[in-house]
Amino acid sequence: MPTFSTIGIILLVLGVVIFAYQGLSAFLGMGASDEFVYENVSLADILDEGSLSWIDSISSPSIQSIAETLINMSIAVWMLGGALLCFLIHAFRGTKHIK
């Protein structure tokens, strides 16, 4: 199996597993109440605040807001986006079997 499709499949499975884990933990965290609280795990949750201080030094407000959006995006979305990128790279650069 080609490299990019293998990486894409791995990222796709990891993204689905992370989504399922977060959904299951929110469902089990409900207990006897009716409050379903789904919490995303993002890069901002994992990284130290000191390593994210470079975002405040960006001079352009629009680029700064884009960087904050990307840092606060769910890791599962990053995995699924990476899988899509790997599948697209494989589609255009993979070996073509034309008969």
Residue type, 73: M
pLDDT at 35: 79
CB count, 10 Å around CB of 16?
14
Residue 25 within any structural domain of the chain: no
At 84, the pLDDT band (50, 70, 90 cuts) reads very high
Residue 69 within any structural domain of the chain: yes
Range of the domain at 48: 9-19+40-93
Q: How many domains does the chain have?
A: 1
pLDDT tens per residue, range 30-73 = 777 777 788 888 888 888 888 888 888 889 999 999 999 999 99
Residue 81 within any structural domain of the chain: yes
Residues in the chain: 99
Q: Three-class SS string for 52-88?
A: HHHHHHCCCHHHHHHHHHHHHCEHHHHHHHHHHHHHH
pLDDT at 75: 92
Residue 4 within any structural domain of the chain: no
Residue 2 within any structural domain of the chain: no
Contact present, 58 and 85 (Cβ < 8 Å): no
Q: Could you tell me the pTM of the whole model? A: 0.77
pLDDT tens per residue, range 6-20 = 999 999 999 999 999
Residue 47 within any structural domain of the chain: yes
